Amino acid sequence: MTQSRFFSSRSATRSSADSFSRGLVGYAFAAAATLTLAGLLVFFWAPQDADQGMRQKIFYLHVPLSIAALCGFIAGGVMAIQYLRTRDSSWDLRSYVAIHLSLIFGVAALITGAIWAKTAWGVWWEWKEPTLVSFLIVFLLYAVYQPMRFAIDDPERQARSAAVYAIICGAFVPLNFMAVRLATSLVHPRVLGGAGEMPAEMRVSFYTSLIGMGLLWMALWKFELTAKSVSMRLGKLRAELIS
């Protein structure tokens, strides 16, 4: 019975379970359309970068992935605040799935970042790129979220501690970026930033990719929330039938 409280009774009610899946199909198709469009724009419309040539195309993948992951992390913190305020465990579930999903986006961002470092600077890791370094630190911090969460037995306490941790980490993200930026010698040319100086075609392609990635994040988030709530409702139904 205590176990089924993490799979909370309130989040398993029909109304909130339905709200998880609301818009899921729309997001999924919007993400598919936007990402396809973005791919076409990136490879057939945006001009080749004068200095970097083809390899600059990783930018359209790596940066939206990182931004989606970071926004997801911060959104997870905001949902955690919402949980602490309302004690509605559906917010805990939302926060958990947001952080979990952003971690996966983070893995993709780190791998594509390493590939970019390799093609741009000839090394798999570049300490002089503050954004990449900050991202690794943030990733390491969030990687502890799940182990911490599941090292707590009591489901209610688990939700509370996880929420507090998510809030601490959410506040950490911007401060950490500032600290690492300060620590990196500013002599190094910035390659990942400076979207303002790009030609219009590049900028449009980039923003299309960014929107597509955001829609993909939303779609996967709703997808996983729906899957989790369905399996919780099933578990609850089984518990009711057996008892």
Partner 1 sequence: MTAAIATLAALPIAADTGGGYVAAAYAVFVALLLVYIGIMAAKLVRLQRGLGDLQERTRKPGDDA
Partner 2 sequence: MNESKETPGLFAAAGAILRKDLRLELRTMETLTTAAIFTVATFVVFHFAFDRYEMSGDIAAGVFWVTVLFAAVLAINRLLSNERAQGGYEALLLAPIDRNAILFAKFAFLFVTLTLLEIFALLAFALLLLGPALSTEMLPLAPVLLLANIGIAAIGTLISALATDTNARELLVPLMSLPLLTPLLIGAARASTPLMSLVPHTEHLDRWLGLMALYDSVFALLAFAVFEYVIED
The binding site for partner 2 (CB under 8 A) comprises 84, 137-138, 140-141, 144, 147-148, 151-154, 157, 160-161, 163-165, 167-168, 171-172, 175-176, 178-180, 182-183
Amino acid letter, residue 11: S
Determine if 111 is a binding residue for partner 1 (CB under 8 A): yes
Determine if 119 is a binding residue for partner 1 (CB under 8 A): yes
Nearer to partner 1, 73 or 221 (CB): 221
Determine if 33 is a binding residue for partner 1 (CB under 8 A): no
The residues with which 49 forms a beta bridge, in sequence order, are 53
From the list partner 1, partner 2, none, pick the one residue 112 interacts with, judged by a Cβ distance below 5 to 8 Å according to partner type.
Answer: partner 1
Nearer to partner 1, 62 or 149 (CB): 62
Q: Binders of partner 1 among 203-232, rule CB under 8 A?
A: 220, 223-224, 227, 230-231
Determine if 4 is a binding residue for partner 1 (CB under 8 A): no
CB of 4 to partner 2, least distance (A): 20
